[in-house]
Amino acid sequence: MGPKSSTSNASEAQRVDFRTNPQEYKHWKLSVDGKVARLALDVEESATLFSGYELKLNSYDLGVDIELYDALQRIRFEHPGVGAVVLTSDKPRVFCAGANIRMLSQSTHAHKVNFCKFTNETRNGIEDAAEFSGIRFLAAINGACAGGGYELALACEHIMLIDDGSSTVSLPELPLLAVLPGTGGLTRLVDKRKVRHDRADYFCTTSEGIRGKRATDWDLVDEVIPRSKFDETVLSRATEFAAVTDRPLDGKGVELTPLNRNIEKDRITDDTLSIDFQRDLSLATITIFAPNTPPPLDVAGIEEEGPRFWPLAMTRDLEDAILELRVNEEDIGTWVFKTEGDPDLVRDAEKPLLDNADHWLAREILLFMKRTFKRIDVSSRSIITLVEPGSCFVGTLLELVFAADRSFMLEGAFENSNIAAAEIVLTDMNFGPLVMPNGLTRLEHRFLKDQSMVDKTKIQIGTKLSASDAEELGLVTFSPDDIDWEDEVRIAIEERASFSPDALTGMEASLRFAGPETLETKIFGRLSAWQNWIFQRPNAVGEGGALRVYGSGQKATYNKQRV
């Protein structure tokens, strides 16, 4: 069964699992030698995520990328000494041929889009590590490098191409498949590497690719190195890059032990959250639980708790929930976020992170939280956050209110309930560490019209804010009282389920990212939108479309109309 028939029902077998570990890798080899890690692609052709294709020439499917992402996380958390990562291939004469074309051509539109989103996030994560974690990435291109292979290289800080008389870098998607390079390639070419647009145009329409002097002259790669000197030059560069890291060779890594997930038909539970489905409303309610024991006070305590440390455990659960829901629950269009537990323990759990933000481990956890909340921003799901009595929307978790397309906070208590009215609490977590893809904090984005509101809210750090306080400070969308609550929330959810999912996706992607643009917003906002469009067009996916006929010997036929 191919991804075409990928399931959107929790009970079926073809569920994609994002959990893996190095012992289970089939496609990547991770080795660490002092400050340098080597991550080598050696794809096992037959170990595909779905049936119907083979992963020839180091091409990849989502399964290969899930391993890559896992390996990057392990380098970050389990190998604190690593300061440089060499991305290379263990196959002779081929680095990576990019996303598998047969897999793409037999995939549903939704799977293609989901696949691209995840691979994009992984590559953005590589750049995040280079910028903030002290881990620099080198692409050691030791063979043919096409499409997604070159896009992976583009995510690295330094690109080294072997000069063997034949290996090229190329983005042949447009001429061969009538689609765009889907993993940030176009954007990184002109916006990151600042390749001249006319040269980029030539490059992207030349399926055989570019090598040698032109590759460096045009800034497509940083170095072209003869085969005889390739390995030694790569090692020397990597050593040089790793030397300047501030990551500690003697640091105590945190092992990312398996998540403790339980999947039932209409309910998923983890240690720190639960997901409940109401399929008739296309709804998933994600409830995040506060810590239930006092968190550690310092870094030693964080190291001691390791993967059980609440901010890390919660972020891992939340990330896996997001990925789960995106890929395995495509019909669930609305995510409602709730929280439950002691607000003080959430605040206490954040504190040692904020107090030790320069320590490599605290930094890694904060960066991981940032990246995970970004995944929410770019998820094509409606986000509604409900602040009710018994909740703990403090700092980190309060970001779920700001990330929401709409939030509701109950004014007062529920009738006949002895649970006190909800309060929300701002912390330093809301004013810096957890920026959005556009580089703004969610509060800066919220108050684009009047940035003085950011300062006004900052004064309130630590204060318990009632619904009317929150409304006055502009922190929630609506604050109905008990009489109106049920109706207002119900209508919002039912209404959402009644709208076109596609129009919602386009609208949310447009409204969620006002203000400045970055490589990331350009990739998710512009490039992905164009790619989604092209993925729908008969010239790519229709009867005679290029993606459909590729490899069949048949020539693609195009409707010539320009749109």
Site for a copy of itself in 312-341 (CB under 8 A): 330-333
Query: Could you tell me the smallest distance in angstroms from the CB atom of residue 391 to a copy of itself?
Result: 18
DSSP label of 53: -
Tokens 């076109």 sit at which residue? 500
Scanning 130-138, 177-185, 355-363, 388-396 for contacts with a copy of itself by CB under 8 A, the matching segment is 177-185
106 belongs to the binding site for a copy of itself (CB under 8 A) = no
Identify which range of 228-236, 260-268, 364-372, 490-498 contacts a copy of itself by CB under 8 A: 490-498
Of positions 173, 270, 388, 520, contacts a copy of itself by CB under 8 A: 173
**Smallest distance, Å, CB 102 to a copy of itself?**
19
Among 250, 415, 416, 449, indicate the residue that binds a copy of itself (CB under 8 A): 449
502: its two tokens: 């596609």
Region binding a copy of itself by CB under 8 A among candidate stretches 50-58, 225-233, 268-276, 501-509: 501-509
Number of residues near a copy of itself (by CB under 8 A): 91
Q: Say whether 446 sits in a helix, a strand or coil.
A: helix
Q: Which residues contact 149 (CB under 8 A, 6 or more apart)?
A: 58, 95, 96, 97, 98, 141
Residue 286 sits in the site that holds a copy of itself (CB under 8 A): no
Nearer to a copy of itself, 13 or 560 (CB): 560
Q: Are 121 and 371 a contacting pair, CB within 8 Å?
A: yes
Which token pair is 165?
């008389």
**Coil/strand/helix, residue 482:** helix
* Whole-number Å distance between alpha carbons of 271 and 259: 8
> Contacting a copy of itself (CB under 8 A), which of 76, 136, 158, 522?
522
Q: Tell me which of 508, 520, 548, 549 binds a copy of itself, using CB under 8 A.
A: 508
Residues 135, 367: Cα–Cα separation, whole Å: 13
Dihedral over alpha carbons 522, 105, 159, 26 (to 10 degrees) = 120
Among 1, 499, 551, 554, binds a copy of itself (CB under 8 A): 499
Three-state DSSP string of 239-252: HHHHHCCCCCCCCC
Our CB check for a copy of itself shows the closer of 21 and 557 to be 557
**Residues within window 36-65 making contact with a copy of itself, judged by CB under 8 A:** none
- List, in order, residues 6 or more apart from 357 with CB less than 8 Å away: 363, 366, 433
Q: Are 307 and 254 in contact (CB under 8 A)?
A: yes
Query: Taking CB under 8 A as the rule, does residue 15 contact a copy of itself?
Result: no
Q: Which amino acid appears at position 95 of this protein?
A: F
509 binds a copy of itself (CB under 8 A): yes
Interacting stretch for a copy of itself, rule CB under 8 A, among 34-42, 66-74, 339-347, 442-450? Answer: 442-450
Asked whether position 113 contacts a copy of itself by CB under 8 A, the answer is yes
Nearest to 182 by CA among 249, 250, 119, 254: 119
Are 113 and 224 in contact by the 8 Å Cβ rule? The answer is no
151 binds a copy of itself (CB under 8 A): no
Q: Which of helix, strand or coil describes residue 84?
A: strand
Provide the mask over 215-254, with x wherever binding to a copy of itself is found by CB under 8 A and - wherever it is not.
Answer: ----x-----------------------------------
Q: Which of 149, 532, 548, 549 binds a copy of itself (CB under 8 A)?
A: 532
- Contact stretch for a copy of itself (CB under 8 A) within 314-322, 353-361, 417-425, 514-522: 514-522
Task: Count other C-beta atoms under 10 Å from residue 199's C-beta.
Answer: 17
Q: Does 426 bind a copy of itself (CB under 8 A)?
A: no
Least CB distance to a copy of itself at residue 216 (A): 13
In the complex with a copy of itself, which residue's Cβ is closer, 309 or 335?
A: 335
Q: How many CB atoms lie within 10 A of CB 555?
A: 9
Residues 179-218 that bind a copy of itself (CB under 8 A): 179-180, 186-187, 189-191, 193-202, 204-205
Query: In the bound complex, what is the minimum distance in angstroms from residue 106's beta carbon to a copy of itself?
Result: 17
Q: What is the DSSP string of 182-236?
A: SSSHHHIIIIIS---HHHHHHHHT-TT-B-HHHHHHTTS-SEEEEHHHHHHHHHH
Q: How far apart are CA 155 and CA 192, in angstroms?
A: 9
Point out which span in 63-71, 245-253, 364-372, 445-453 binds a copy of itself (CB under 8 A).
445-453
Q: Which of residues 381-410 bind a copy of itself (CB under 8 A)?
A: 381, 404-407
Q: Which CB atom, from 324 or from 330, has the smaller least distance to a copy of itself?
A: 330
The region that residue 247 occupies, defined by phi over 0 for left and psi between -120 and 50 for alpha, beta otherwise, is beta
